[in-house]
Structure 1
Amino acid sequence: MRDLHRRGAPMSILFHVLAWLPLAVLQGLGAFAGWLLWVTSSSRKRVALRNIGRCMPELSEAEQRRIARASLGHEMKTYIETARVWLGPGGPVKNAVKEWRGIEVLERAFAQGKGVILLTLHQGAFEAVAIPMSANFPFYGLYKPQKGALNALSLKGRCRFGGRMVAAEAGVRKAALPLLAQGLGVYYMPDHDPPPGRGVFVPFMGVPAHTPTLIARLAQESGSPVVFMFGERLPWAGGYVAHYVEAPAGIHDPDVEKATAAMNQGLEQCVRDCPEQYWWGYKRFRRQPPGAPDFYRGA
């Protein structure tokens, strides 16, 4: 135990130091890290360009490159800002959210009394708006416990304003359904490639994407309304805007594939609203339908 404590101490110290740096400094460090990924022709740069080229072919090559470069910077800013969002002074962290755009969508969803499934994606500053939001709405984040100091730091940060975290060790569905039945909110990020057998291929940005069916099944079983959210990072360390978007009607379709496709439509709307801040460097299309060529070959 003593060895584990010693190994976790440097991480904890680093986070506590970063937490008290001004937002402008942290975002400057993130921008520099993103610039390094771009100028060194990193794999994330190549993947970002491939993803944007296939997902937004209507854009000129110059515009695709501009979005890809901005995306790398925003991804790195998110990583470096995390310490401040989790551990920084409470007042400035809350006040950094300058606008709650579409918050009435979330309020109407809770008013139904069936709980709320809140979906976000790897775009912009998702935790910078989600954690302050938990001061006003009863949300539970679903997570898989990690090893080391990062797990404890994340729990401390995500619960600092009243939010709660639930370890989904027996599965997200089993953890979420009782919470939704009590009229509470659950918070989840579905824009990832699930293990085989837990997803279907449905379009995302016009490209077949292996997408988790979890949300479609959860919405069907619970009857809970679904709301999308993302956090837009304002320029020059100006703070953030929280965006809330109603889900497409088809997300409660009894056909799991149709409901999952509707979920991706909602995610796509968020991406198109602010494409520069989506994490295009992630291999979202790594898994392809049987017989399809490797999406990232040559990237």
Structure 2
Amino acid sequence: MRVLFTVLAWLPLPVLQGLGRFIGWLLWISNSSRKRVGLINIAHCLPELSAAEQARIVRASLAQEFMTYVETARVWLGPARAVREGVREWRNIEVLDRAFAQGKGVILLTLHQGAFEAVAIPMSASYPFYGLYKPQKGALNDLSLRGRCRFGGRMVKAEAGVRRAALPLLAEGLGVYYMPDHDPPEGRGVFVPFLGVPAHTPTLIARLVAESGAPVVFMWGERLPGARGYIGHYLEAPAGIYDPDVLISTAAMNAGLERCVRACPEQYWWGYKRFRRRPPGEPDFYRH
């Protein structure tokens, strides 16, 4: 694993992105499960688009997802200057500055879209962010810690739970970084709309906001065409995310994530089974 990552880390970005694009193409022509799941998801989430446009977006999404995987070695271990200068623009980053100015810490939310780590890791050179993680086995854990901390970011074990790890950091005025676009375990989520579909969504952020009073900022990393680098996008959270009602707050969080997706649907990872868990009485979303 270390040898593979070291080799990939020093390959030119066009080569890495070409490899990711090729893997995505193979998954498309082989009618892989990720392709099938992606087409089901987008048909429900963006029904206003034609079938041809939906297929185009899903095909592009597969390439974008695997570009992210193969770029990871470069972002973690590659030439520091190239990684920093790869972010061509920090769009609306004043949103993040205003959030930190409140002195209550910042909850930065991102999602599986575009090149999130290619933006987040260089950002940590200028802002005091902590990533929350559960240790993995083997060399990948050490590689990820080394890469994610290379510019000053910090990682904190969340073995006792993300909430317990995050609250003390927010109380110190620091930032915590989290990806909430997943289906949490039973009992840790509620069903609220995401792109028009009820989605089992973690209530963690609603509880963190209520207990800490910290502002929330959304971020996603746009991958520019032609291996020209990335743009970091920063968005203010919908006002409803600060509502004490967990359902209202969690629905507002999904609305913020949806805004990111709609800005560039080709770079969202449509192949994930986001709607696997269903409200009582609803059929299996992916059965057909």
Which TM-score band applies after superposition, normalised by the shorter structure? over 0.9
Q: Does 1:44 align with 2:34?
A: yes
Equivalence for 2:204? 214
Matches within 5 A, 1:145-164: 145-164=135-154
- What is the CA–CA distance in structure 2 between the aligned matches of 1:87 and 1:246, rounded to whole Å? 31
Runs of 4+ in 1 over 3 A off after TM superposition: none
Aligned to 1:289: 279
1:165 maps to 2:151: no
Following superposition, the deviation at residue 199 of structure 1 comes to 0.1
Q: Which residue of 2 aligns with 1:263?
A: 253
Q: Does 1:224 align with 2:207?
A: no
Aligned to 1:277: 267
Partner in structure 2 of residue 233 of structure 1:
223
**Percent identity between the aligned chains?**
80
Structure 2 Cα separation of the partners of residues 148 and 260 of structure 1: 35
Aligned to 1:4: none
| Alpha-carbon distance in 2 for matches of 1:275, 1:101 | 18
Q: What does residue range 61-140 of structure 1 map to in structure 2 within 5 Å?
A: 61-140=51-130
Gaps of 5+ in 1: 1-10
SS in 2 for 1:193: coil
Give CA-to-partner distance per residue, 1:242-269, whole Å, 9 cap, x none.
Answer: 0000000010111001100000000000
**Is 2:237 aligned against 1:247?**
yes
Normalised to the residue count of structure 1, the TM-score between the two structures is 0.96
Counterpart residue type for residue 182 of structure 1: E
Residue from 128, 133, 137 that aligns with 1:143: 133
- How much does 1:297 deviate? 1.0
User: In structure 1, what is the Cα distance between the partners aligned to 2:187 and 2:230?
Assistant: 37
Offset from partner CA, 1:206-237 (integer Å, 9 cap, x none): 00000000000000100000000000000010
Cα distance, 1:173 vs structure 2: 0.4
- Structure 1: distance between partners of 2:40 and 2:235: 27
Amino acid of the structure 2 residue aligned with 1:76:
F
Aligned to 1:6: none
2:177 partner letter = Y
SS of 1:236's equivalent in the other structure is: helix
Tell me the number of residue pairs that the alignment of Structure 1 and Structure 2 aligns: 288
Q: In the alignment, which residue of structure 2 is the partner of 1:14?
A: 4
Structure 2, unmatched stretches of 5+, are none
In 2: Cα distance, 1:238 partner to 1:33 partner: 20
C-alpha displacement of 1:134: 0.1
Which whole-Å CA distance do the structure 2 matches of 1:222 and 1:251 have between them?
A: 13
TM norm structure 2: 1.00
**Structure 2 letter corresponding to 1:283:** K
Distance 1:146 1:49 in 2: 31
SS, match of residue 226 in structure 2: coil
Q: Distance in 2 between matches of 1:21 and 1:171?
A: 37
Amino acid in structure 2 at the alignment position of 1:125: A
Counterpart in 2 of 1:195? 185
Q: Which whole-Å CA distance do the structure 2 matches of 1:221 and 1:250 have between them?
A: 16
Among residues 179, 183, 190, which one is paired with 2:173 in the alignment?
Answer: 183
**Alpha-carbon distance in 2 for matches of 1:131, 1:281:** 25
Matching residue's letter, 1:255: D
Alignment partners' CA distance in 1, 2:158 and 2:83: 27
Rounded to whole Å, the distance in 1 between the matches of 2:269 and 2:71 is 15
Q: Deviations over 1:174-216 (max 9, x none)?
A: 0000000000000000000000000000000000000000000
Question: 1:28 aligns to what SS in structure 2?
Answer: helix
